[in-house]
A and B are shown apart, each in its own frame.
Chain A
Amino acid sequence: MKPFTYERALTPAAAAGAAAATPGARFIAGGTNLLDLMKLQIETPAHLIDVNGLGLDRIEATDDGGLRIGALVRNTDLAADARVRRDYPVLSRALLAGASAQLRNKATTAGNLLQRTRCPYFYDPAQACNKRAPGSGCAALGGYSRQLAVIGVSEACIATHPSDMAVAMRALDAVVETVQPTGTTRKIAIADFHRLPGDTPHIETALEPGELISAVTLPKPVGGRQVYRKVRDRASYAFALVSVAALVQEDGTGRIALGGVAHKPWRVEAAEAELPRGAKAVTERLLAGAKPTPDNAFKVTLVERTLGAVLADGRN
């Protein structure tokens, strides 16, 4: 970990302003991913702005019947919130499927969205990684890639986004609210928030330098049967091989988002039109153009089978 200076920010605008004004500054909230990466010098901020005191830790009803989740709401509190449990159970389920209780107690809503990939080559500074060291190449291509992406990949990167929460938020059409260094705010649809790797895998989100997430809003509840099904090797405290967030309505329509398969939570709205025709048809559309490696080709089968089980549950 490189030496850094540290300050505690008191307002969101001040935090964003300080970040823009200070070279090498980063925000720290839960710190559960940033500190992990700083210890390996994968992240090397010169200055940390502690945003835990910003008061962005409330969950409030919005005027249009949805919820505004403060950026600093801890994963535990979000999962345990009675409104979320009642109206957005897929989000509670996704959160509870992630990490461990200790990590969920610390990790924040915004930090969860900003998690970086768990690709083992990204985590080993001695290995080539375009995400960590742009232009160095991708050691994962042709290497050990069982956990990595099957769709939306590029020649530069086959990393996955590790979040469970973000997959549920993608299915819920969440909107990310931010504060820019100028103090202006903007809203980014979750679909546009995370990027595909392309030839710039180090640019992972739509955020601009210094831009601070202040909240995530959920539209008013859409009801339906909500399922988050995470498939992993061990029973807990593990990243997904694949995960499925599903909102299935009584008329058979619904929404499907996938985790563990791409550089971002993966949703293809057009594929949802296939829901009445079943998991195979949906999967064919969802994963059309998939480019799995020999190590992770099983994920395509696994998505279809998991989705099949989720939809069968939904019919019960």
Chain B
Amino acid sequence: MARSHDLDINRREVILAGAATAVASSLPGGAEAQPAALPGASGPSHATVSLTVNGVIREIEVDTRTTLLDLLRENLQLTGTKKGCDHGQCGACTVIVDGRRINSCLSLALMHEGQSITTIEGLGTPDQLHPMQAAFVTHDGYQCGYCTPGQICSAVAVLAEVKADIPSHVTDDLTAPIALTEAEIRERMSGNICRCGAYSNIVEAIVEVAGRRA
């Protein structure tokens, strides 16, 4: 519970801070355009990126082409984040960056300098499940398990987004407070495909966690 609460706060700060996030991540002044590529043996197509993953600061030299997803799965061997399509069409690679969920397959690692990444491994462990992970187990909100980390990262973010007053396609009134209905959950979770078809159970899991927190 504490963990997800922290995420919420993180989320609200980001929303309120808005532009501040981008400014904070820009490079020190001086040159008007600063190459990130390092000179030397690794060549112009490599560069070093420094970011925080699940609370741990990491500084890694990467190929400029390396996506955030491959940085996690290959360089850091955090394989909980899944590669389903590598083209932003499935949501299996969903992670939370500075409080916002994104498709890590459609982002370069280098674009996350100074940012804070939360992956499924950062939410909980088999011995200490995050409430959303526990609810997925209770409600059988998964089958093969491959889309599951992305579903759970999204589900955690959905609750934060509703609290942050971000509307969705099915929000009736854009100017009234948003009610977390099942229709809202379904629409907001639609960027995470589950071919096993656990949707009905996933919604129940999210409703349970949302209810507990309300």
- A–B contact at 8 Å CB threshold (below): yes
A102 touches B (CB below 8 Å)? yes
Would you call A31 and B27 a contact (CB within 8 A)? Answer: no
Would you call B26 and A103 a contact (CB within 8 A)? Answer: no
Residue of A nearest to B85 (CB): A36
Q: In the complex, A5→B37 CA distance in Å?
A: 7
Would you call B161 and A101 a contact (CB within 8 A)? Answer: yes
> Interface stretch among B52-60, B94-102, B119-127, B135-143?
B94-102
Q: In the complex, A106→B108 CA distance in Å?
A: 12
B200 touches A (CB below 8 Å)? no
Instruction: Find chain A residues with CB under 8 A from B158 CB.
Output: 101
Instruction: Find chain B residues with CB under 8 A from A14 CB.
Output: 32-33
A142-165 vs B, Cβ < 8 Å mask (1 yes, 0 no):
000000000000000000000000
Q: In the complex, A6→B46 CA distance in Å?
A: 9
> Interface stretch among B2-10, B71-79, B163-171, B205-213?
B163-171
A219 touches B (CB below 8 Å)? no
Instruction: Find chain A residues with CB under 8 A from B106 CB.
Output: 30-32, 35-36, 103, 106
A272-288 vs B, Cβ < 8 Å mask (1 yes, 0 no):
00000000000000000
A301 touches B (CB below 8 Å)? no
Would you call A53 and B27 a contact (CB within 8 A)? Answer: yes
Would you call A99 and B191 a contact (CB within 8 A)? Answer: yes
B108-122 vs A, Cβ < 8 Å mask (1 yes, 0 no):
101101000000000
B86 touches A (CB below 8 Å)? yes
> Interface stretch among A72-80, A189-197, A246-254, A290-298?
A72-80
A49 touches B (CB below 8 Å)? yes
B133 touches A (CB below 8 Å)? no
B29 touches A (CB below 8 Å)? yes
Q: In the complex, A48→B19 CA distance in Å?
A: 22
A50 touches B (CB below 8 Å)? yes
A182 touches B (CB below 8 Å)? no
A259 touches B (CB below 8 Å)? no
Instruction: Find chain A residues with CB under 8 A from B187 CB.
Output: 235-236
Please classify how large the interface on chain A is, using the bins under 10, 10 to 19, 20 to 34, 35 or more.
35 or more
Instruction: Find chain B residues with CB under 8 A from A55 CB.
Output: 19, 22-23, 26
A89 touches B (CB below 8 Å)? yes
Instruction: Find chain A residues with CB under 8 A from B36 CB.
Output: 6-8, 50
Would you call B91 and A31 a contact (CB within 8 A)? Answer: no
Of the candidates B29, B33, B94, B113, the one having the most CB atoms from chain A within 10 angstroms of its own CB is B33
Q: In the complex, A177→B44 CA distance in Å?
A: 33
Instruction: Find chain B residues with CB under 8 A from A8 CB.
Output: 26-27, 33-34, 36, 113
A222 touches B (CB below 8 Å)? no
Residue of B nearest to A49 (CB): B33
Q: In the complex, A135→B75 CA distance in Å?
A: 41
Q: Which of B23, B37, B67, B190 contacts A100 (CB 8 A)?
A: B190
Instruction: Find chain A residues with CB under 8 A from B161 CB.
Output: 101
Instruction: Find chain A residues with CB under 8 A from B168 CB.
Output: 96, 101
Q: Which of B33, B45, B164 contacts A4 (CB 8 A)?
A: B45
Residue of B nearest to A230 (CB): B169
B203 touches A (CB below 8 Å)? no
Residue of B nearest to A96 (CB): B169
Instruction: Find chain A residues with CB under 8 A from B193 CB.
Output: 237
B18 touches A (CB below 8 Å)? yes
B129 touches A (CB below 8 Å)? no
Q: In the complex, A144→B180 CA distance in Å?
A: 40
B57-91 vs A, Cβ < 8 Å mask (1 yes, 0 no):
00000011101000000000000000000111001
B9-29 vs A, Cβ < 8 Å mask (1 yes, 0 no):
000000000110011011101
Instruction: Find chain B residues with CB under 8 A from A39 CB.
Output: 86-87
Of the candidates B19, B47, B63, B106, the one having the most CB atoms from chain A within 10 angstroms of its own CB is B106
Q: In the complex, A93→B108 CA distance in Å?
A: 29
Give the shortest distance, in Å, between B71 (CB) and chain A (any CB): 13
Known A6-B108, A77-B18; contact A102-B34, beta-carbon cutoff 8 A = no
Residues of B participating in the A interface, judged by any CB pair closer than 8 Å: 18-19, 22-23, 25-27, 29, 31-37, 44-45, 47, 63-65, 67, 86-88, 91, 94, 100-103, 105-108, 110-111, 113, 154, 157-158, 161, 164-169, 171, 174-175, 186-188, 190-193
Q: Name 28 interchain pairs, CB-CB below 8 A, sorted by A.
A: A4-B45, A6-B36, A6-B47, A6-B110, A10-B31, A28-B111, A31-B107, A35-B107, A39-B86, A39-B87, A48-B64, A53-B22, A53-B27, A58-B19, A80-B167, A85-B167, A93-B174, A96-B168, A100-B192, A101-B154, A102-B88, A102-B191, A103-B88, A103-B102, A103-B103, A105-B100, A105-B101, A105-B102
Other A-B pairs beyond A79-B167, A236-B186, 12, CB < 8 Å: A6-B35, A10-B29, A31-B106, A48-B64, A80-B167, A85-B174, A89-B174, A99-B191, A100-B190, A102-B88, A102-B94, A102-B101
Q: Which are the 6 A-B pairs with shortest beta-carbon distances?
A: A100-B191, A53-B26, A236-B190, A14-B32, A85-B174, A3-B45
